[in-house]
Structures are given as structure tokens and as C-alpha cells.
Amino acid sequence: MILIDGKKEAASLREELKKEVSELKAKYNKVPGLTVILIGDLTPSQIYVRNKEKSAKEVGLNSEVIKYPDSVEEITILNKIHELNQDDTVSGILVQLPLPKHINKKKVIEAILPQKDVDGFHPVNVGNLSSGYDSSVPCTPLGCYLLIKKIEPNLNGKKAVLVGRSNLNGKPMTQLLLKENCTVTITHSKTKDLKNECVKGDIIVAAVGIPELIKGDWVKKDAIVIDVGINKTEKGIVGDVDFREVSKHAKALTPVPGGVGPMTIACLLKNTVECFKKSI
């Protein structure tokens, strides 16, 4: 079985981006800038943002984190986004989710200029992605896609089973795999006989949030299995895939941690560089 090393792949993507950023700097005398807005003091969000900032600096991006307390008014955030939209030194804007309940997520996402939407959540980018046009692609599915392509460059005609239909993961993943001519089945919480769907997959992408849901005998021999899940359990962080069992069946499998997670951050940097290149 191939253990898909997300840490290694992410490091190599960051290395490529570092080189590209230094070439862009030499050519244009400026570098891409990423601004992250962090609201509140949720520990996981703070950790994610710290990692994003660290990685952005490592590849040579201008990186800024703007922090607000939980009590911040929605209008303050919207005004800040409008200001960043006009700022030429900012190539990408990311508002770390989840937001406090009194702030409307849809309004916030729609306030970000689609050209600076490094998360790929703006409806214009969602529409462009599903129409097959150029767009920012959400970072986690983009990372999954790059990992799958590393193992299997030609996905023509492959059967892909996506477990989970969220806007963040399952839906954009569908578009990426359709573009590669996969036959895509999207499963979710109301799917009947999930096992019977999974066993047909040459590729399985699990983004559910249920620890070790995908069992060994749900996976066809030689399938590529990508585990997006991050679940805190008594035995530590585990994915949505039963790693021990599935590793006996699959051709390739991502570990948790060390699989999709590092690629998500590297893809955020990639999206920032892409936004910068389109702006010059």
C-alpha cells in the first residue's frame, strides 16, 4: 500500500511556490499578500491561522492577520473587507470560519472580491468552478485532487465515490473530478447502503466528520482513499477512514494527521499566488 505523504507533498508544493514568489518579486518588485481575518478566540481557528501565517511567510508572501474579539459588529468586518478589496498589496483575503452567530457568513463571503477570494467560497467562484471556467478552488478539495493526481495522473473513466456533500469539500471535489472525466457518485447522511456505494469506487474521498466510518470491506482492492476527516477521539485525532483496516485493502491511503491537512494550507498559498498573478 502507498502511504500518501501529505507533509512531503505539501513541502514540495511550498518549495515550488517559494521559487515562484522569488521570481515574481524579481520581475515585478512586489510579492503576493495574504490577509486573514480572525474573529474570536476559538483555539482550533487560532491554530489554523497561526499555521497559515507561518507557511505564508516561509514561501515569501506578505502575510497579515487581523484579529477581532467575538463581540465585533458585522459592519466592522464588512468595512474592513471593503478596505482590503481596494488595497493593491493584498492579493488574497480569507475570513477564518466559523464566525460568531451574530455575523452573517453569506454576507461576509460575498463581500470579498471574487478575484481575492483565496478560499474559493464566493458564489462567483463556485459558479465558475461548476461551469468549468477559471476560478479559485477551495483549498481542501484542491489538496485532495493534487494528491490523487500524484498517484494516478490519468483519471479518465474512474469511478469516484465522495462521502459528504458539503460546500467546503464534497461539492467542489465533484467538480474537480468531473473535469477529469471521472464518474462521480456523491453520498451523504441520507444515502442508503453507503458500503454498497463505496465498494464501487476506484477513488473514495471521505469528508464526513465521523471517526473511522469507512471500513476495510467497504473499499475495493486497489482503490485510492483520501481521508479528509479530522476527529478528536479518546485515542487522539483520527480520520473518517478506519486506517488500520483500510490500509489492508487500498492501493493508496492518506494518514490522519499528515495527509490532507498540510496540503490544505499549501493550497491556500497556491491560491494566493494565483490571485496575485491574475492581478498583474
Q: Is 57 a catalytic residue?
A: no
- Of 173, 100, 181, nearest to 139 by C-alpha is 173
**Pairwise CA distance, residues 274 & 4, whole Å:** 25
Q: Total number of residues binding ligand NAD (CB under 6 A)?
A: 24
Closer to ligand NAD at the Cβ: 14 or 80? 14
Residue from the set 37, 229, 272, 275 that interacts with ligand NAD by CB under 6 A? 229
Q: Is 52 a catalytic residue?
A: yes
- With cell 467546503, the residue in question is 168
Closer to ligand NAD at the Cβ: 81 or 208? 208
Q: Which segment (15-23, 35-43, 102-110, 205-213) binds ligand NAD by CB under 6 A?
A: 205-213
Contact positions with ligand NAD (CB under 6 A) in 242-261 = 260-261
Smallest separation (angstroms) from ligand NAD to the CB of 16: 20
**Pairwise CA distance, residues 136 & 123, whole Å:** 11
Q: Which of 80, 116, 119, 270 is catalytic?
A: 119
Q: Is 240 a catalytic residue?
A: no
- Of 233, 239, 232, nearest to 204 by C-alpha is 239
**Chain-centre distance for alpha carbon 63:** 19
Q: Which segment (106-114, 118-126, 174-182, 185-193) binds ligand NAD by CB under 6 A?
A: 185-193
Q: Other CB atoms closer than 10 Å to residue 122's CB: what's the count?
A: 20
Buried b (16+ CB within 10 A) or exposed e, 28-65: eeebbbbbbbbbbebeebeebbeebbebbeebbbbbeb
Q: Which segment (18-26, 78-86, 181-189, 245-253) binds ligand NAD by CB under 6 A?
A: 181-189
Closer to ligand NAD at the Cβ: 34 or 260? 260
Residue from the set 35, 187, 271, 272 that interacts with ligand NAD by CB under 6 A? 187
Contact positions with ligand NAD (CB under 6 A) in 151-180 = 163-166, 168-170
Contact positions with ligand NAD (CB under 6 A) in 87-146 = 140
What separation in angstroms does the CA of 138 have from each of 18, 87, 226, 246? 21, 23, 16, 27
Q: Which three cell numbers stand for residue 82?
A: 471593503
- Cβ atoms of 231 and 239 within 8 Å: the answer is yes
Smallest separation (angstroms) from ligand NAD to the CB of 227: 8
Residues carrying an active site annotation: 52, 96, 119
Binding residues for ligand NAD (CB under 6 A): 140, 163-166, 168-170, 187-189, 191, 194, 207-210, 228-231, 260-261, 264
